[in-house]
Amino acid sequence: MIKAAGVAEVTDQDFAAEVLGADLPVLVEFTADWCPPCRQMGPVLTALAAEEGERLKVVQLDVDTNPDTTNAYKVLSMPTFMVFRGGEPVKAMVGARPKRRLLEELSDVL
């Protein structure tokens, strides 16, 4: 997986602790190495994590190596972004987008 700088990687094993148990809202990018739009999102997620780190936790999950979580949330397209708050998914978005648009779409959950 192409890891975005400053963005944690989560797995099937630690998803519950890192995402569902987090104090902050968590933006999860369901991603894959073979996905060009996912790679485009790397700098966007790095910037988002740096700017919003006090209000939002940003993580990535590789769909190819973490099928349990991917299937549990019925993720079919990459990249899929899901926001979790209080252990529950509260928003889902599919496809690459510029940082400005991503921030606009996240404004109601931050």
Point out the residues that are catalytic. 35, 38
Distance CA(18)–CA(99), nearest Å, equals 23
Indicate left, alpha or beta for 23 from its phi (over 0: left) and psi (-120 to 50: alpha).
Answer: alpha
CA–CA–CA angle 27, 104, 83 (5° rounding): 20
Cβ 45 vs Cβ 100: under 8 Å: no
Q: Is the peptide bond before 43 cis (omega within 30 degrees of 0)?
A: no
